[in-house]
Structure 1
Amino acid sequence: MSQDKEACLRAAVVGVGYYGSFHAEKYATLPGSSLVAVADHNADHAERAATEYEVPAYSDHRELIGKVDLASVVVPAKGHFQVARDLIEAGIHVLIEKPITRTVEEAETLIELARKHEVVLQVGHLERFNPAFRALPDSLRSPSYIESHRLTPFPKRNADVSVVLDLMIHDIDLVLALAGSPVKSIQAKGVSVFSDALDMVNAVLHFENGTVANLTASRASTQPQRTLHLFQQNAYTTLDLHAKDLVIQHRKSEHSDSIATEEIRCDNADVLRTEVMSFLNAVRDGSPPAVTGEDGLSALATANWIMDVVEKDQSPMEPLAIFEDGENGNISSRVHHDPHPETNETVFSRSSLVSGKEKENKES
């Protein structure tokens, strides 16, 4: 359902804490949108945003129905499904922060509801809009081997969730977009350092097309780092997602031993502003969002798989655990644990889940 391109879209933000306040600022300042309301169970957050932007504040997100065209959902992940479901069923377009939901079943339900009610469902995988990632040439978007590092000092918030859902999920989404193939198997190891949840995880993803991705996420680091390394025939690319630049090394010619180095310095763009603008454009045009609900589902299912592997193999002296589907080795949008009939051990069964990029290729 597209909107009149000349109309000013009425926007709201549900959850105006630390990060939600940034969403509110974008809607209040971007052309073609107007922040008309905020909602938050926390009275202090709601009152602060209402005062700053001179808009009504509500304690219940359902009070937004009939008053707005679209909304950002920036509540804790456990509340994503309920809030987004209520808004989508009312015909309101939704930009939902990552992870899309707590479970793959909830994500599947939101995707179906968005399709039924003809509304845009976009997932807030912010790194898709990073200038360095957007500047990556198409010829370098099919690497054979990917290595990512996302490291931060221990945070003051979100320490109660696994580093996989807190940090690594950013790189999971990028890797799925680049690989364009279902995940075949996963190796993973993780440890708790400063919290009761996983604070450092390393995961190796093997894709059906032969691509391999080695991901490391840690919130037990002294210095922040957000890098992506892409290796393919005749080229090696480093993306610094923090500094927003690329370094590309490639052979000058196919049969040459001479290596050329190209540096691309990107503008220090407001990435969240770019993301929200993309969402607004999708609502106006009725076009698919840059990061679809299916993309969010793929990232969540992969993250859950990684955490399953880590949980299954906690001993630091044991080899990395690998779980594959016996028939086709594909990751599934629906993860379930079935006791093996003979050994009574847990078997991780997964059916095919196609990444966003492959889905686009099939449709084109």
Structure 2
Amino acid sequence: MAKLRTAVIGAGKMGSLHTRIYSELELSELVAVADSDASKAGELAEKYGCRSFSDPEELIGKVDAVTIAAPTDSHLKIAAPLIENGIAVLIEKPLASSVEQGEEIARLGREKGVTVAVGHSERCNPVVQAMDRLEIKPRFIEANRVSPYPFRSTDIGVVLDVMIHDIDIILSIAGSPVKSVDAVGVDVIGQNEDICNTRIVFENGCMANVTASRLALKTERKIRIFSSQAYLSLDYFRKEGIVIQTAPNVDVVEWIRERQKEPGFSFENVNWPDLLNIENLKIEDKEPLKVEQSAFLEAAAGKRERPIVTAEEGLAALQCAYKILESIKEKAWQ
């Protein structure tokens, strides 16, 4: 299989991770690292035996696919000339610093016929992959993503930094346009919100309650999904989950109904979970970023139809995030 010449723009923490993975993938020939800080780019390039550049446009003509792990407000400026020159790009989330810029990136990708992926790596989390296989149609979703202060991404609030992971996942499984958004957010440390809770209502009736915080005392990344087919409880952080499907538990419901009719029967010693058919999700422990980048390169090489998260999906998550931010502003605390 012919290799694609790859490069990473951004030599920070995320850029370092992407560079390491490109150096490991069979479909990748790591060519370069680019960063406005030439010393950082040089250090990372030396570690992985490739070239370094301080100007991303110097990569044009030298690479086939690029991951952009630079600050969000530079995504459009960096991505546009690459896309226009036929170079596939994977852009770290969020897609852009505004909906308008996100729309421009998506438009360029469509018009040039170039693969544009967005780095919502949680979509590649083995828990999410397992959930997709069950083809659940949710009616209510509850997601919590909280952690101690990360001391990074201080230029954006918790919605674009953290909650957007769950927004992308929820949009992908709700399968319906957003009807309304109601949110409240609080800024504690900086000028952007550090805590946010939002309720998203979809046109098909599905509802989602989403909480994100970067001021918690411990890390928690969980989602619960309720549907007529099953109940799922998933822990992204621990990479584990359970599913309680309706069909195997019909007899349990009927047994309870019959016992309720019996005079004097007591449920005092009955343990509800012991009655249920509870299945542990089978989860393949694969590195999300590696799954994401491998799919991106396969899409760029024409080996698969699309990357894990397309530009259009990244744009939808961005649009929903900005609706949440608008709702926060409407309820701004004085």
Q: Does 1:294 align with 2:286?
A: no
Matched residue of 2:332: which SS? coil
Q: Name the structure 2 match of 1:274.
A: 291
1:175-223 Cα distance to aligned partner (Å, 9 max, x none): 0001110111111111112222100000000000000000000001001
- What are the residue-to-residue correspondences of 1:162-311 with 2, within 5 Å? 162-233=157-228, 235-251=230-246, 252-254=248-250, 256-257=252-253, 258-285=275-302, 287-311=305-329
How much does 1:18 deviate?
1.0
Matched residue of 1:205: which SS? strand
Q: Which moved more, 1:135-144 or 1:284-293?
A: 135-144
- Whether the 8 Å CA contact 2:199–2:207 is kept in 1: the answer is yes
1:121-166 Cα distance to aligned partner (Å, 9 max, x none): 0000111100011011544521100000000101111123110000
- Whether the 8 Å CA contact 2:183–2:197 is kept in 1: the answer is yes
| Partners of 2:25 and 2:295 in 1: CA distance | 11
Gaps of 5+ in 1: 1-5, 317-364
How much does 1:255 deviate?
5.7
- Whether the 8 Å CA contact 2:296–2:306 is kept in 1: the answer is no
Q: Which moved more, 1:251-260 or 1:191-200?
A: 251-260
Matched residue of 2:201: which SS? strand
Q: Name the structure 1 match of 2:152.
A: 157
- What are the residue-to-residue correspondences of 1:87-106 with 2, within 5 Å? 87-106=82-101
How much does 1:55 deviate?
1.4
The aligned length equals 311
Matched residue of 1:49: which SS? helix
Structure 1 runs of 4+ off > 3 angstroms? 137-140, 253-256
Q: Which moved more, 1:30-39 or 1:204-213?
A: 30-39
How much does 1:250 deviate?
3.0
* Residue of 19, 27, 41 corresponding to 1:46: 41
| Partners of 1:19 and 1:28 in 2: CA distance | 14
Q: Name the structure 2 match of 1:29.
A: 24
- Whether the 8 Å CA contact 2:222–2:233 is kept in 1: the answer is yes
How much does 1:299 deviate?
0.2
- Whether the 8 Å CA contact 2:185–2:196 is kept in 1: the answer is yes
Question: What TM-score do the two structures reach when normalised by structure 2?
Answer: 0.90
Question: What TM-score do the two structures reach when normalised by structure 1?
Answer: 0.82
Q: Which moved more, 1:8-17 or 1:286-295?
A: 286-295
- Whether the 8 Å CA contact 2:295–2:308 is kept in 1: the answer is yes
Matched residue of 2:289: which SS? helix
How much does 1:63 deviate?
0.3
Gaps of 5+ in 2: 254-274
Q: Which moved more, 1:251-260 or 1:43-52?
A: 251-260
Matched residue of 2:62: which SS? coil
- Whether the 8 Å CA contact 2:83–2:112 is kept in 1: the answer is yes
| Higher helix content, 1 or 2 | 2
Matched residue of 1:285: which SS? coil
- Whether the 8 Å CA contact 2:96–2:102 is kept in 1: the answer is yes
Q: Which moved more, 1:10-19 or 1:154-163?
A: 154-163
| Partners of 1:196 and 1:259 in 2: CA distance | 47
- Whether the 8 Å CA contact 1:62–1:86 is kept in 2: the answer is yes
Q: Does 1:117 align with 2:134?
A: no
Q: Name the structure 2 match of 1:10.
A: 5
The letter of the residue matching 1:302 is C
* Residue of 46, 63, 68 corresponding to 2:58: 63
| Partners of 2:252 and 2:283 in 1: CA distance | 29
- Whether the 8 Å CA contact 1:188–1:306 is kept in 2: the answer is yes
Cα distance change on mapping 1:141 and 1:250 into 2, 3 Å: closer
| Partners of 1:115 and 1:307 in 2: CA distance | 28
